[in-house]
Structure 1
Amino acid sequence: MAAIIKVENISKEFRIKEKEPGLKGSLKSLFTSKYKSIDAVDNISFNVNKGEVVGFIGPNGAGKSTTIKMMTGILFPSSGKINVINYDPQKERKKLAFKVGTVFGQKPQLWYHLPAIDTFNLFAKIYEIPEKQYQQRLKELIKTFEVEEVINQPVRKLSLGQRMRCEMIASLLHNPEVLFLDEPTIGMDIVAKKRIRELIKNLNENDGVTVILTSHDLEDVEQVCKRLIIINNGKIVYDGSTKGIREKYLNFKIIQVILNEKTESLNLGLKNVKAVFKGKFRHVIEIDTSKHPIQEVVKKIVSKYNVEDINILDPPIEEIISRIYQNKTDHKDQKWD
C-alpha cells in the first residue's frame, strides 16, 4: 500500500535564550544575548500508509507535538523532508489544509463564547464547502458524534467530552484524508474517553480516514491503534505493532490498594509480585501478568484484606521506554520491529 505520509530524516532545533538570575542578569541580557540549542526532534524517519491508525507516544518533551506540527506545516524542520498526501507541508500548507484535519486537545479551535454551530458555519466558508454538501455533511457528523442537544450552546458551557466531540466535527467538515489528533482525551473521564475512542475507530473503519494519534494514555493507543511509534528525546525508540509492544513490554501492571486497616505489607503468597510502595494504609505492587492473571491477584487481595479502594494502572510510558532501552542493550544483535 502506498505511503500517504513520508517523513525522511527530519530534525528540529530550537534556540533558547538563557538569562542569568537576578536584576544583574536581566540588565545584562538587554545588551548581550546568550542562547543554547535544543534538539526537539533528532533525525527521525517513518512512513504511514493510507488507512492506518498510528499511535505516536512518548513522555513530555519527547518531540511528539513538534513532529505533528511539522507534518501539518505549522513548524519548519531544521533539516529533512516531509511529504503529506503529495504536498510539502511547509511550501504548500494552504493546499494541505484542505486535505487534513487537526485536533489539539489543549488548544481549542472553537470560539469559546459562541455556540459550536457558529464555528462550523465559519469553517464551511473557509473550506469553501458548497452549502448543500455542507448541510448534509454536518447532519451526518452531528448524528455520529451525538451532539444534537449542545451545538447551539456556548462552548464554555460544554463538558470536556462534548467540546472535544465538537472539535472533531470542526476538523472533519471538509472530509479530510488524514486526521492528526494531539492528546484528544486529555482530562476526560473514563466514559468520555471510551466514546472518543469508539468514534476514532469508526471514522477509520467507515470513512477510511488515516489517523495519527498522540497520547499519554496507553489505553487510548491500545484500543485504537494497530501500529505504535514511541519517541523519546527526539528519537524513535520503537516502531512496530501495538500487539508487539504489549507482548514485549506491557506484561506487567501496577495495582494501587488502599486498605481500611493498618498493614505493614501485602502478603499474597505469589511469586513475581513486587512491592513498589508500602504505607500504613496505601500499598502499590507490580505484577507480571504473564505469570499471574490480573483477576487472580485482585481476587486474592480482596479476599485477604479489608479493601477501601483499588486501582489497576499501566506502567508509566517512561518505564516502558526504560525497558525498551534495557532490552536493546541486552539483545544488541536482535532485529527490532
Structure 2
Amino acid sequence: MAGAKKTTTKKPTTKKTTAKKPATKTTSKQIIMDVQGIEKNYGKVEVLTGIDFKVYAGETVAIVGANGAGKTTLSEIVAKVKEPSKGKIQYFFEEDGEESIGKGEISSNIGIQFQDSAYPDFYKVKDLVNFVINAAGLEITKEELEELYETFDLTKLKKEVAKGLSGGQQQRLNILLAIVNNPKLLILDEVGTGLDVESRTKIKSYIKSYAEEHSATILLVSHNSDEVMELAERVIVIHNGKIFNDLPLKEIIKE
C-alpha cells in the first residue's frame, strides 16, 4: 500500500513483550514505548491507578476492557493529548535506541484516530488532509494520495464539508488522517465503529499491510473481539484503572 513519505525515514525493528507474567521469549528487541506508573484523576475520580507496560517496535497490542475502564484515557495520554496525574512515558522512535524528547518530536511519530472528532467549520475533506500533510512536511505524490482516498472510500467526498459526513464516513476520514504521515506508533480507538462489514474488512486489511510494510507499532483500543483476534498479537486487559492481564493473544484465547 502506498502512503505518505517523511523527508527522513526511520525504521524500527520488531515485536513481543510481557507484563504480569514472566516473558516466555527474550526481550532483546527495541522498546518503542515504556509506560511507567501512569495515574489519571479527574477531581476525586481515579480513572487510572498505576499502569506499567512496555511496547516493542512492530507489535500490535490491543487494549481491552469494559466501558469506563480507562482505555481511551490511556490512549490519549500515550498520544500526548492529555497529561497524566502521575507517572511518565518514555518513547524510543530513533533507530539508535535514543529516547525521543519534546512533544513535537514525539507527536510527529504518532498517528491517532479517535472514535469522535471535532472538525473546524466549513473545512472540506481535502482541506483537512492537506493541512496534515503540510503541517508534517510530508512528501506524497498525487498518485499515492489518490490511492489513500480510494482505500478509505473518500474519493467522491473530497470536496464535501467534513462536519456534514455520516458517522461511518467520518470514521474513515479519521483513520486516513491518522495514517497519512506514516507514524511509527499508530493508535486506533474503536476503528470499526460506524463502518459496514465491507468497509471494516477493507480497512483491517490496509492496517495489517501498513504495519507489515512500515514496521509500525499499533495500539488498538477495541470492544470488537473479531477485530482484536484479527489484528492483535498481544492483549492488555484494563479493569478498574489497572492492568488485569497482559498476555499474547493465543494465551488470552486459551483462558
TM-score (normalised: structure 1) = 0.60
2:245 is aligned to: 238
Q: How many angstroms does 1:161 deviate by?
A: 3.4
Contact 1:101 1:176 in 2 (8 A): yes
Q: Residues 12 and 78 of structure 1 are in contact (CA less than 8 Å); yes or no, is this contact kept in structure 2?
A: yes
Give 2:123's match in structure 1, choosing from 107, 114, 117.
114
CA contact (8 A) 1:13 1:41 kept: yes
Measure the CA separation in 2 of the matches of 1:66 and 1:227.
20
Query: What are the residue-to-residue correspondences of 1:39-50 with 2, within 5 Å?
Result: 39-50=46-57
Over the matched positions of the two proteins, sequence identity in percent amounts to 29
Match of 2:186 in 1: 179
Please give the alpha-carbon distance, in whole angstroms, between the structure 2 residues aligned to 1:136 and 1:98: 23
Which residue pairs with 1:101 in the alignment? Answer: 111
Asked if 1:208 corresponds to 2:236, the answer is no
**Post-superposition offset of 1:192:** 2.7
Given that residues 115 and 153 in structure 1 are in contact (C-alpha distance below 8 angstroms), is that contact kept between their aligned partners in structure 2? yes
1:161 corresponds, among 155, 165, 168, to 168
Question: C-alpha deviations, 1:240-282, integer Å up to 9, x for none?
Answer: 112211121xxxxxxxxxxxxxxxxxxxxxxxxxxxxxxxxxx
Aligned CA distance change for structure 1 residues 196 and 111 (closer, same or farther; 3 Å):
farther
Q: Which has the higher contact order (CA 8 A, sep 6+)?
A: 2
Change (3 A) 1:157 1:75: closer
Cα-to-partner distance string for 1:272-300 (whole Å, 9 max, x where unaligned): xxxxxxxxxxxxxxxxxxxxxxxxxxxxx
Is the Cα contact below 8 Å between 2:115 and 2:190 reproduced in 1? yes
Q: Does structure 2 retain, via aligned residues, the 8 Å contact 1:51–1:208?
A: yes
In 2, the alpha carbon distance for the partners of 1:198 and 1:112 equals 32
Shift of 1:56: 0.4
Q: Please say if residues 151 and 203 of structure 2, whose CA atoms lie closer than 8 Å, have aligned partners that are also in contact.
A: no
Q: 1:9 aligns with which of 26, 34, 37?
A: 37
Kindly tell me: are residues 230 and 77 of structure 1, through their superposed partners in 2, closer, same or farther at Cα, counting changes over 3 Å?
same
For 1:112 and 1:167, locate their aligned partners in 2 and report how far apart those are by CA, in whole Å.
Answer: 16
Indicate conservation of the 8 Å contact 2:234/2:249, yes or no: yes
Superposed CA RMSD = 2.1
Q: Does 1:125 align with 2:153?
A: no
Measured in 1, the distance between the counterparts of 2:152 and 2:104 equals 27
Contact 2:151–2:202 (8 Å) recurs in 1 = no
TM-score, structure 2 as length reference = 0.78
Greater C-alpha radius of gyration: 1
Aligned length: 221
For residue 147 of structure 1, what is the aligned residue in structure 2? 154
Q: Distance in 1 between matches of 2:182 and 2:207?
A: 14
Q: C-alpha distance in 2, partners of 1:185/1:112?
A: 25
| Partner deviation per Cα, 1:112-152 (whole Å, 9 max, x = no partner) | 6433111111122221235xx36454234234434322222
Q: Name the CA distance, whole Å, in 2 between partners of 1:176 and 1:96.
A: 10
CA contact (8 A) 2:60 2:231 kept: yes
Checking the alignment, whether the CA contact within 8 Å between 1:57 and 1:216 is kept in structure 2 is yes
**Residues 112/192 of structure 1: CA separation in 2 closer, same or farther (3 Å cut):** farther
Deviation at 1:212, TM superposition (A): 0.4
Label 1:134 to 1:126 Cα distance change in 2 as closer, same or farther (>3 A): farther
- Say which of 59, 67, 72 aligns to 1:65: 72
- Where do residues 277-316 of structure 1 align in structure 2 (5 Å cutoff)? none
Task: Report the Cα distance in structure 2 between the residues aligned to 1:119 and 1:138, rounded to whole angstroms.
Answer: 13
User: Shift in Å at residue 14 of structure 1?
Assistant: 2.0
Residue 111 to residue 137, structure 1, CA distance change in 2 (3 Å): farther
Show structure 2 runs of 5+ residues with no match: 1-28, 94-98
Specify which structure has the higher proportion of strand: 1
